[in-house]
Structure 1
């Protein structure tokens, strides 16, 4: 996934990028899952379980949460988990289109080209898995606001190079940390834990490549380009994180949305969870020169730093 077009010539030693792509291909061949058979889709939903770790709920730690029954808390986390899954589908569709555009008409013998197609295949399976999971959680189709959907159309059409791959990395890393908690939590309904485990294992490969592509694309980039890239990635991150939990989850969980939405927005516990989950990501962006002052403002607004 690079504009450098480092096509491997016969007789030349493979580049570090090629070697990484080959390792990822080998890993994918060794450890990948088929959600259609790995996830228990047949067992009815256990309403005695949460959809996500309660500590990750947008209302956890608030006075409103304290007044909820256990049944209401479990239903809220199920709706929130379904919303996160739906947001994941939306962004995975953007991701797939950006990767396809990036590799259009490039050398198909390049291991990176083959890895790109492998990653797209993974994302297709993940999107179907998330869709079936949300349905089993008895949730409606949560979609980002119309403005966000249209902004996504523009972003996937114009984002290129490090801006595309750094934005991909942000979305994947934010999901990764919370899903690692959910997949280990016995309070979470078993099929959701399986979904999270599959996603964490397979996305770890995607994140490695996105980091490498971001570094590769930024080699030799000047100050203006880095400033622009940093701002684009920060804005994209702000939009993605702000779309993860749809405002309709509260009403669909049987709560008072007029009370729940302001409580969630002001929830310091949830903000702290988001910041701690993104510490490694922010360190990487800083090392890549993408944590500029304007970008930091958006990350602060998104509670990522």
Structure 2
């Protein structure tokens, strides 16, 4: 990625620090988690307050076991969609670093990130297998559109897309990783992912700053809007309607109540405040972009 020498120096220094952190702090879920341990039937898949139906009339009608089952399928859906967009992110990073400067820390951390994402996706796959025995995919139209995004996005759109996707997942996981009501192995999954993604998000922020410094006003507005559209599709895909059906609920009623759930909308807005502040700082929160974020309650 072409940039001014001062920005390159900043990016290189951040990459060096992240490489050191990855070598010292990386964790292996395949050996750290006992995948054969039994699950307590009373433990949730995510904190009840982070369920998309918490605070609705439908939630009030459920038995405690139905609530537990719902949160397990909801979080399995979130992890499945996490695998989907992490596979896209790996493509973006690998394409950006093709024929890169192999001796630089920036290139070496990019490959470290790709390796991390492979391990994290495998961790999510194992977790969904253990918790509910199924997985979820985005709507076919969104899946096809995302292929185009993965093949064409570059510079600030690519790395802002990476950042937004990771921040969205981070919001859910931080809200649940220390809750004793949640399955212990899911808490560990959340802790590992939050730790690894903190490095990835720092790297993405530096790449976004670098690219935005070289972008003109028209490109900044275009990038802001397209990043927001990509974020909205990712966010609205997190809990698939099939997850409600698999939890034994009426998916049509569940989706309708989720869409007007003010509690969930408030939780999301609060959780995304840090992300919105960064996008505003770098020029990616234009009025048109803000309108998209407000529509999906991220702002």
TM bin, normalised by shorter chain, reads over 0.9
Q: Is the 8 A contact 2:3 2:210 kept in 1?
A: no
Q: TM-score, normalised by structure 2?
A: 0.97
Q: How many residues align?
A: 298
Q: Residue 211 of structure 2 corresponds to which residue in structure 1?
A: 217
- Asked if 1:172 is matched to 2:145, the reply is no
- Asked if 1:138 is matched to 2:136, the reply is no
- Asked if 1:201 is matched to 2:195, the reply is yes
- Asked if 1:262 is matched to 2:256, the reply is yes
- Asked if 1:22 is matched to 2:25, the reply is no
- Asked if 1:53 is matched to 2:47, the reply is yes
Q: TM-score, normalised by structure 1?
A: 0.95
Q: Is the 8 A contact 2:3 2:214 kept in 1?
A: no
4+ runs deviating over 4 angstroms: 5-8
1:107 Cα shift? Answer: 1.1
Q: Residue 96 of structure 1 corresponds to which residue in structure 2?
A: 90
1:268 Cα shift? Answer: 0.7
Q: Residue 150 of structure 1 corresponds to which residue in structure 2?
A: 144
- What 5-or-longer segments of structure 1 have no aligned partner? 9-13
Q: Is the 8 A contact 1:7 1:110 kept in 2?
A: no
- Asked if 1:4 is matched to 2:12, the reply is no
1:174 Cα shift? Answer: 1.4
- Asked if 1:188 is matched to 2:186, the reply is no
- What 5-or-longer segments of structure 2 have no aligned partner? none
Structure 2 counterpart SS, 1:184 = coil
More helix by share: 2
Q: Residue 116 of structure 1 corresponds to which residue in structure 2?
A: 110
1:6 Cα shift? Answer: 7.5
Deviations 1:194-247 (A, max 9, x none): 000000001000001111110011113211000100011000000000100001
